Amino acid sequence: MDYTLVLLFSLVHVLNVGTAAPLPVEVVKMKSKVKWMAEQLVVRLDKDFKVPAGLTLSPPTNDLDGLSSVVTVLGGYNSLISDTLDGVAQIKYDISSLTGYLNQWRQGHCSEQRPKPAVSVQLQALQSRKQFIHTVSVEAIMRVKEFLNLLLKNLEHLQTC
């Protein structure tokens, strides 16, 4: 028997396994953890941060376009939340924990590198009004909550790297 052929097939198998999509069990665990983290954050937002009455968001929330876009959107909004607002330290920490977990999971399980997602229109609009610190912070928090609720309804989008 030709050992070169056996070695070649073994090498091809190792390469295929190493570059394959994440195992479904790992994806299920990741989605379960993200769901738990997002639900806890929504509860904290409801409990610790009271939105002024009558304040609504327009236009609607960002689209979900895989892990990279979720990390970009949440990180972008988190950076706009002022540390001077009462009760936001734990909220900012929780957002950072969620984005950090997703980013770490993506780096460890996604072999394809997608281009960095474009910053959404809503996030760009907030970034252009940074001088209004508290107004921007309140809207960023509201957008995070809206985005998390969208994410919780569409966890299957996390399967896309």
The dihedrals phi and psi of 50, each to the nearest 5 degrees, come to -95, 120
- The residue with greater pLDDT, 154 or 120, is 154
CB neighbours of 38 closer than 8 A, spacing ≥ 6? 98, 148, 151, 152
Q: How confident is the model at residue 130 (pLDDT cuts 50, 70, 90)?
A: low
**Rounded to two decimals, what is the model's pTM?**
0.74
Percentage of the chain with pLDDT > 70? 66
Cis previous bond, 59, omega within 30? yes
pLDDT of residue 128: 66
Q: 30-44, 45-59, 131-145 — which one is most confidently predicted on average? A: 30-44
Q: How confident is the model at residue 49 (pLDDT cuts 50, 70, 90)?
A: confident
Question: Taken in order 145, 147, 153, 155, is the CA torsion positive or negative?
Answer: negative
Residue 152 in this model has a pLDDT that exceeds 60: yes
Q: 9-13, 48-52, 73-77, 124-128 — which one is most confidently predicted on average? A: 73-77
Amino acid present at 25 = V
Mean pLDDT across the chain: 79
Helices (H) and strands (E) in the chain, counts: 6, 0
What tens digit of pLDDT does each residue of 52-97 get?
776 666 666 667 788 888 998 999 999 989 988 888 899 999 999 9
